[in-house]
Amino acid sequence: MNKPLRIFLALCLLFTSILASAEPEKWLVTGTASNLTTGEIVYREYHDITPQQHTVLYKNPAGKLIATKNISYNHGFNTPEYQQNDLRFDRHTGSKWQNNHFMMFSQEKSDRAYENTVKPADDLVIDAGFDYLIRSHWDELLKGKVLPFSFAVADPLMVLSMQVEAVSASETAIRQHRSQYRYFLVSSRNHLIGWAMPDINLAYDRDSHLLQIYQGPSNITDQNDTNQTVVVRYEYQQALPAAGKVRTP
């Protein structure tokens, strides 16, 4: 498959814990993605989240829909099933539960689908699942633990040996430093294939544990179908079921 490397990271890293809540509330989340080098806005992502479903719409700066994503956590918050559809290039990637295994798949246009079977494991993480991994090990990470995990990706079809750790403001590559932020670094445990999984830098709010900034490779290629590195900043609104209004957390 001669096509650019596309590692399908979810730029929706906060949302697994919201779905774990017993409160039947709806969250609306907007992520604004900017090119890391130029600062130019390259797309926005709109998340619609309830305990039953999580959908994402990706739109270019002009507001045109360029991709969609549907996520389900029926088989674990670390290992969601998902399907992402890039409307520009007729590309479909994701994960599905099949015969007691996870099937990662990638398909372009009418070409045959490429698939890879991944066996469930305690350290397995798929797509947005590593946000829940960070959240569920929050105290340990802040105390200095380096947490290894196996990250299954759909394009290219492979399982990467990764790790996550807390870092200081002086160590993070994120330029925006705030006292209420807690910073984390996701990196490859195998330096020989570090090209396949560039570092991901994350900034979370220390109190709400909500992701504020994502900096790293995007799951959306640019208009020329080339990989891009982005900074995504998130804003949140929580729906009030009775009044039908929204509030910011």
Amino acid 50: pLDDT: 80
CB-neighbour burial class of residue 248 (10 A; exposed 0-12, middle 13-18, buried 19+)? exposed
State pLDDT tens for residues 6-43. 443 433 344 444 444 434 478 899 999 999 999 999 99
Phi and psi angles of residue 220, each rounded to the nearest 5 degrees, phi first:
-115, 120
pTM comes to: 0.86
Per-residue exposure over 116-144, b if at least 16 CB sit within 10 Å of its own CB, e if not: bebeeeeebbbbbbbbbbbbbbeeebeee
Beta strands in 109-156 (DSSP E): 114-118, 124-126, 147-154
pLDDT at 19: 43
Looking at residue 13, what is its pLDDT? 40
Q: What local confidence, expressed as pLDDT, does residue 240 receive?
A: 54
- Quick one: DSSP state of residue 50? -
Mean pLDDT, each 10-residue run in order, the chain (249 residues):
41 42 70 97 94 89 97 87 96 94 91 90 88 92 97 86 96 97 94 74 94 94 95 86 47
